[in-house]
């Protein structure tokens, strides 16, 4: 895309949506090189939807349970999906071994049915990127293949821990419970695993002896807002390069000449926050 254009970003939320709010606020202040073109939630009660409505951003709900069990969207899935290959791609060291393959495929088919709804709802907005902001579901290879075109990653997530430490749903709590002296936040591309895609940006914050889990979460969230918006600005400016060494994991390099200054600012913010 033209580096001067705004990125078209769709945001997926499951809950409060404070990351979404931070993007909307920065957008309004002219500090975000991205336009939030649509918001989708798997949870009709998500406050993130209210935030989107208040900002005049189109929003949609896809209720996985309803889509999975019937209703108006039970038309057949594409017949040429290779479910066995999808399962192999999704397999992580902790996933699914206790569940029989046919049952895993049933689950995957349900997931794909809901994801197809999301894809359909997002299509008119033509998003350049799909950003997960507190979206508490894994995405299947079907969804990722749809957006990750031309060999590039198009789905981005924010995670409340310094990956690869503490993947999963409780990044702040796990960081605190382990007695970590530093916590972190990570923005990464999404692949088939759980919080396992290439890291784009990370920031760290201290955990002081007197801190409780709420203090840790508060300090981390303040950083999340900074880092996520900065990553969108880097993506818009074409400053996120991916090195693909043969036989090794893809590795992201930020090419912004101001990179060190920005990371130092995040550190200052964390030390004083
Ligand atoms: C954020 O802390 C985000 O990093 C986390 O959920 C929170 C959502 O807050 N995401 C995950 O844990 C994903 N595994 P928000 O709805 O207020 O932006």
Residue 133 CA to ligand 1 center (angstroms) comes to: 6
From the CB of 169, is ligand 1 less than 6 Å away?
A: yes
> DSSP string spanning 25-93?
HHHHTT--SEEEEEEEES-TT-HHHHHHHHTT--EEE--HHHHHH-GGG-SPPPTT--HHHHHHHH--T
pLDDT higher than threshold 70 for residue 104? yes
pLDDT tens track for 136-160: 999 999 999 999 977 799 999 999 9
Domain boundary assignment for the chain: 1-147, 159-273
Q: What is the DSSP pairing of strand 199-206 with strand 129-132? A: unpaired
Same fold flag, 1-147 and 159-273: yes
First to last CA, the chain: 36
Closest atom of ligand 1 to CA, residue 168: 14
What is the model's pLDDT at position 80?
64
Q: Between 193 and 163, where is the model more confident?
A: 163
Residue 72 has pLDDT above 50, yes or no: no
Considering the domain 159-273 in this protein, what is its CATH number? 3.40.50.170
**Active-site annotation holds for 146:** no
Is 18 touching ligand 1 by the criterion CB < 6 Å? yes
Residue 219 Cα to ligand 1 middle (Å): 13
1-147 belongs to which CATH class?
Answer: alpha beta
Ligand 1 atom nearest to CA at 13: 16
Mean pLDDT in residue range 170-186: 98
User: Which member of 60, 159, 170, 178 is catalytic?
Assistant: 159
pLDDT above 90: residue 106: no
Confidence of residue 11 (pLDDT cuts 50, 70, 90): very high
216-249 pLDDT, tens digit each: 999 999 999 999 999 999 999 999 999 999 999 9
Average pLDDT, the chain: 91
The pTM assigned to this predicted structure is: 0.92
């Amino acid at each position: 895309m033209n580096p001067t254009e705004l990125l078209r970003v769709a945001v997926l939320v499951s809950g409060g949506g404070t990351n979404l709010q931070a993007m909307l606020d920065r957008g309004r202040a002219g500090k975000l090189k991205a336009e939030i073109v649509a918001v989708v939630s798997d949870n009709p009660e998500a406050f993130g939807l209210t935030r989107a409505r208040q900002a005049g951003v189109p929003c949609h709900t896809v209720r996985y349970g309803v889509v999975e069990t019937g209703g108006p969207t039970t038309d057949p899935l594409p017949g040429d999906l290779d479910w066995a290959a999808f399962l192999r791609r999704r397999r992580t060291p902790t996933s699914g071994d206790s569940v029989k393959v046919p049952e895993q495929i049933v689950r995957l088919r349900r997931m794909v049915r809901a994801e197809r709804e999301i894809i359909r709802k997002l299509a008119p907005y033509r998003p350049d990127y799909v950003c997960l902001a507190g979206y508490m579901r894994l995405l299947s290879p079907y969804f990722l293949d749809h957006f990750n075109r031309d060999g590039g990653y198009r789905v981005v997530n924010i995670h409340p821990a310094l990956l690869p430490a503490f993947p999963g749903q409780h990044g702040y709590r796990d960081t605190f419970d382990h007695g970590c002296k530093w916590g972190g936040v990570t923005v990464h591309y999404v692949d088939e695993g759980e919080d396992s895609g290439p890291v784009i940006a990370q920031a760290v914050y201290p955990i002081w002896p007197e801190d409780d889990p709420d203090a840790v979460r508060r300090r981390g969230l303040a950083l999340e807002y900074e880092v996520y918006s900065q990553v969108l600005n880097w993506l818009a400016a074409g400053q996120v390069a991916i090195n693909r060494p043969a036989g090794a994991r893809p590795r992201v390099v930020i090419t912004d000449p101001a990179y060190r200054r920005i990371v130092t600012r995040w550190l200052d913010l964390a030390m004083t926050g």
